């Protein structure tokens, strides 16, 4: 049985930190003193210690509020004074998007400030907001600046305030030798993997020291979906691997006894310096140290005691960690591994080899322990996280250790560093494959609400799993059964409850880089406009909509991203007329349409309004005397797209295919008063548009059917800005998935399937 006294001490400190951050000072103090009195009345030393720990953290937080919130410097902050300041940079500059453009955010320690005729010496954390001239400022540099102080309510009492500056700083003193050495190692790690491709350049520094600058956002999203995000940030795993590597080297060099503790301490200090002494790094170092202790003899007992002590110590140093998601994830993951993993491993050892049970229980315990916090942050639950971590685990150690070794070797001779770091790059490639393939599974993750009730529900579910897991894992029948059920769930896309909702008039199907739209023509009937590039994608969308009859299908032009999915529309559905454009370009696309349909397609009749079930549709373009053959470069085929004006339940919709600016200009001139409720933006949001035509439609909703990660630059930022400036709500399939337009009493509404 583990000794829970120190873990309870850490829990008391954590509650004290939460109370300091979320409750008025007097109320949190009254509660803490009341708990102390109750514990004393019960004569319980453990509970008295917990209450004292909470009081200690409350006291530290109160002192910080007093030091930052009152006094002459606090008056300068509250008065938003312009000051001359000296500070030491304590973080790397980071470019972040702001309301009026990108800004550089830098953390620093304010050492001296002069304002309103007086000077003050102090040491207080400050957040600097600057321009891109600060991007080259190095960690540990002492600078002088002029700027305006202001409160920063978003970061609470742990920060004095914000200092907004303009122009570059004046460097008073460069970083000392320790910071220069750490920066040289980080730079050498990046240089060692530079020739190994984009993913190696991005991920090896991230795995080694948490340097995620320049990381592809799409790849980061794949890591989030598969529960591998912890690999992209500084974590206890980094320290465990790197310090473990130092200890192995020490043993090879003959180091024994207490000198091994000195080697471990040296490794921890080196890790903190290389990864930068930010709060997240210090927290990761503490949790990694706990993990190292947990790997030794009597690891579980010593590890749990050290976990409680580490939580208590960290919160005494920085009470603000109590409300940090990163701190919570580190503590919960470590606690899960220490408390849950051994029990689940022993249960599975009844029918699995010990090494397999160990490999499964560790990521499973960490994932279950962290799920409520991860869900609150991301709004989703990863169903592939355990398997993804199992598959990625063999590559993490070589990528981390050899990445660092390559950086150290590169300080001596660059080619040697590249050779040593090469296996790290190969290992990262495997991790990327795991993340990308896992994220592409039909149900890699499920969406979950982030409100209090929803988070309470997922927390209760996790607690139930903690209680029932040993019994489920003890038997091969239930253990394998649960695994098979999970696999089936992951490989099958579940139906969306309540989809489609009543009152839908138009569906924009997520068919990748292409178009696939459906107009609601009545009971289980739909007018399909374009079919996208993949029969399975459009077929799945129609199935979700419950469409069994297609009285009319319109292929706006013959490019593959609009017509190759037509067999998926026709299969298993009663189909009527198929209408096409008059320009047979490209010929192979026209031939594919002719092969797919039972009766020859007809050219969409210009200007004729027809009723198809609940849909009224009229062809506005191309003109009847237009050319019938293109030049083969694609632009003429695009500009001959069938443009439809549809009306469903009083909602006016313009469907534009891939019409080019010349065609848009002609429509603007021939239909100057055309206004619609919904616009399907031409050509997937290409930058080639007649902006005056599109914005002059005064559409309330603009739909863009576009593929995720397309290399065409669709949709164009300037187009998005122009549409948004008109007040239109812009929806995209790459971000929203299937999009439904609904008719409501107040007009129209949108619902996305995601």
Nearest to 213 by CA among 276, 270, 297: 276
Question: Do 55 and 159 belong together in one domain?
Answer: no
Q: CB of 629 within 8 A of CB of 587?
A: no
Answer yes or no: is 496 within a domain: no
Question: Do 242 and 146 belong together in one domain?
Answer: no
Question: Do 78 and 61 belong together in one domain?
Answer: no
Nearest to 703 by CA among 725, 722, 731: 731
Answer yes or no: is 498 within a domain: no
Residues of the chain with pLDDT under 50: 1
Please list the alpha-helical segments (H only) found in 598-706.
635-639, 661-670, 691-696
Answer yes or no: is 563 within a domain: yes
Question: Do 390 and 528 belong together in one domain?
Answer: no
How far apart are the C-alpha atoms of 545 and 507, rounded to whole Å?
Answer: 8
How far apart are the C-alpha atoms of 719 and 690, rounded to whole Å?
Answer: 10
Sheet hosting strand 504-508, strand order edge to edge: 602-603, 574-580, 549-555, 525-531, 516-522, 504-508, 739-744, 747-752
Count Cβ atoms within 10 A of the Cβ of residue 726 and give its class: 0-12 exposed, 13-18 middle, 19 or more buried: middle
Answer yes or no: is 257 within a domain: yes
pLDDT tens digit string along 718-753? 898 889 888 899 999 988 889 999 998 878 999 887
Domain boundary among 69, 90, 111: 69
Question: Do 259 and 398 belong together in one domain?
Answer: yes
CATH number of domain containing 147: 2.40.50.140
Question: Do 385 and 280 belong together in one domain?
Answer: yes
Domain boundary among 151, 175, 199: 175
How far apart are the C-alpha atoms of 343 and 293, rounded to whole Å?
Answer: 19
pLDDT tens digit string along 456-484? 999 999 999 999 999 999 999 998 888 88
Question: Do 432 and 511 belong together in one domain?
Answer: no
Question: Do 64 and 86 belong together in one domain?
Answer: no
Question: Do 140 and 192 belong together in one domain?
Answer: no
Nearest to 522 by CA among 362, 700, 648: 648
Query: For residue 112, what pLDDT is reported?
Result: 93
Distant-in-sequence, close-in-space partners of 480: CB < 8 Å, separation ≥ 6: none
How far apart are the C-alpha atoms of 511 and 605, rounded to whole Å?
Answer: 27
Answer yes or no: is 480 within a domain: no
Query: For residue 682, what pLDDT is reported?
Result: 94
Answer yes or no: is 454 within a domain: no
Question: Do 167 and 187 belong together in one domain?
Answer: no
Measured in whole angstroms, the distance separating CA 332 from the mean position of its chain's CA atoms is 20
Answer yes or no: is 90 within a domain: yes
CATH number of domain containing 620: 3.60.15.10
Domain boundary among 404, 423, 444: 444
Question: Do 117 and 217 belong together in one domain?
Answer: no
Per the structure block, which two tokens stand in for 210? 């948490």
Query: In terms of C-beta distances under 8 Å and separation of at least 24 residues, what long-range contacts does 98-104 make, across chains too?
Result: 102/132, 103/129, 103/130, 103/131, 104/129, 104/130, 104/131, 104/132, 104/134, 104/135
**Number of domains making up the chain:** 4
How far apart are the C-alpha atoms of 210 and 277, rounded to whole Å?
Answer: 12
Q: CB of 487 within 8 A of CB of 481?
A: no
The domain in which residue 143 lies consists of 72-175
Q: What is the DSSP secondary-structure string of 72-112?
A: HHHHHHHTT-EEEEEEEE-S--EEEEETTEEEEEEEEEEEE
Answer yes or no: is 708 within a domain: yes
Question: Do 250 and 170 belong together in one domain?
Answer: no
């Amino acid at each position: 049985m583990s000794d829970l006294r120190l873990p309870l001490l850490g829990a008391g400190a954590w509650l004290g930190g939460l109370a300091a951050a979320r409750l008025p000072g007097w109320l949190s103090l009254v509660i803490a003193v009341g708990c102390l009195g109750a514990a004393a009345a019960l004569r319980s030393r453990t509970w008295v210690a917990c209450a004292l720990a909470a009081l200690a953290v409350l006291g530290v937080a109160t002192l910080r509020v007093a030091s930052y919130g009152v006094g002459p410097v606090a008056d300068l902050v509250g008065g938003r004074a312009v000051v001359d300041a000296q500070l030491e940079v304590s973080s790397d500059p980071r470019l972040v998007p702001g309301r009026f453009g990108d800004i550089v955010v830098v953390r620093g320690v304010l050492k001296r400030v002069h304002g309103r005729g007086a000077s003050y010496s102090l040491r207080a954390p400050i957040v600097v907001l600057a321009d891109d001239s600060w991007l080259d400022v190095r960690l540990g540099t002492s600078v002088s600046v002029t700027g305006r102080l202001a409160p920063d309510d978003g970061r609470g009492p742990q920060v004095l305030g914000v200092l907004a500056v303009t122009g570059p700083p004046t460097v008073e003193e460069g970083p000392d030798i320790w910071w220069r050495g750490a920066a040289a190692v980080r730079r050498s790690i990046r240089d060692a993997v530079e020739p190994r491709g984009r993913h190696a350049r991005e991920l090896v520094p991230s795995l080694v020291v948490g340097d995620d600058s320049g990381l592809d956002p799409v790849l980061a999203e794949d890591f989030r979906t598969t529960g591998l995000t912890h690999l992209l940030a500084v974590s206890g795993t980094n320290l465990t691997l790197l310090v473990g590597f130092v200890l192995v080297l020490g043993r090879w060099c003959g180091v024994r006894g207490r000198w091994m503790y000195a080697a471990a301490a040296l490794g921890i200090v080196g890790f903190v310096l290389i990864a930068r002494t930010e709060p997240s790094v210090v927290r990761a170092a503490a949790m990694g140290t706990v993990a190292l202790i947990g790997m030794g003899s009597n690891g579980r007992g010593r590890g749990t005691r050290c976990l409680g002590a580490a939580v208590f110590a960290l919160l005494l140093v920085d009470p603000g960690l109590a409300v940090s998601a990163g701190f919570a994830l580190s503590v919960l993951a470590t606690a899960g591994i220490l408390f849950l993993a051994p029990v689940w491993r022993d249960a599975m050892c009844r029918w699995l080899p010990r090494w397999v049970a160990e490999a499964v229980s560790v990521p499973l315990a960490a994932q279950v322990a962290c799920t409520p916090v991860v869900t609150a942050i991301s709004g989703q639950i990863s169903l592939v996280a355990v398997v993804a971590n199992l598959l990625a685990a063999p590559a993490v150690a070589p990528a981390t250790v050899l990445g660092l070794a390559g950086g150290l070797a590169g300080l001596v001779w660059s080619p040697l560093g590249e050779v040593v770091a090469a296996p790290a790059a190969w290992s990262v490639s495997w991790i990327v494959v795991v993340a990308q393939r896992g994220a592409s599974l039909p149900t890699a993750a499920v969406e979950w609400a982030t409100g209090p009730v929803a988070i309470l529900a997922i927390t209760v579910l996790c607690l139930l799993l903690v209680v029932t897991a040993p019994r489920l894992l003890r038997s091969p029948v239930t253990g394998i059964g649960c695994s098979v059920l999970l696999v089936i769930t992951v490989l099958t896309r579940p139906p969306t409850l309540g989809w489609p909702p009543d009152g839908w008039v138009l569906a924009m199907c997520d068919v990748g880089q292409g178009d696939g739209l459906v107009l609601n023509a009545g009971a289980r009937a739909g007018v399909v406009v374009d079919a996208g590039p993949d029969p399975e994608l459009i077929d799945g969308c129609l199935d979700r909509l419950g469409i069994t009859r297609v009285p009319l299908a319109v292929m706006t032009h013959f490019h593959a991203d609009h017509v190759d999915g037509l067999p998926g529309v026709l299969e298993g559905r009663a189909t009527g007329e198929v209408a096409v454009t008059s320009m047979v370009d490209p010929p192979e696309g026209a031939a594919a349409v002719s092969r797919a349909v039972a009766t020859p397609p007809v050219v969409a009749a210009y200007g004729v309004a027809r009723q198809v079930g609940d849909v009224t549709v009229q062809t506005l373009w191309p003109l009847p005397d237009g050319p019938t053959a293109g030049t083969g470069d694609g632009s003429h085929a695009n500009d001959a797209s069938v443009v439809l004006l549809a009306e469903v339940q009083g909602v006016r919709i313009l469907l534009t295919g891939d019409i080019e600016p010349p065609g848009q200009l002609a429509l603007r001139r021939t239909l100057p008063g055309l206004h619609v409720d919904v616009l399907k933006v031409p050509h997937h949001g290409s930058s080639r548009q007649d902006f005056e035509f599109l914005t002059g439609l005064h559409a309330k909703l603009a739909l863009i059917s576009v593929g995720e990660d397309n290399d065409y630059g669709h949709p164009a930022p300037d187009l998005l800005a122009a549409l948004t400036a008109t007040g239109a709500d812009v929806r995209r399939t790459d971000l929203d998935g299937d999009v439904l337009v609904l008719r409501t009493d107040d007009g129209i509404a949108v619902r996305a399937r995601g």
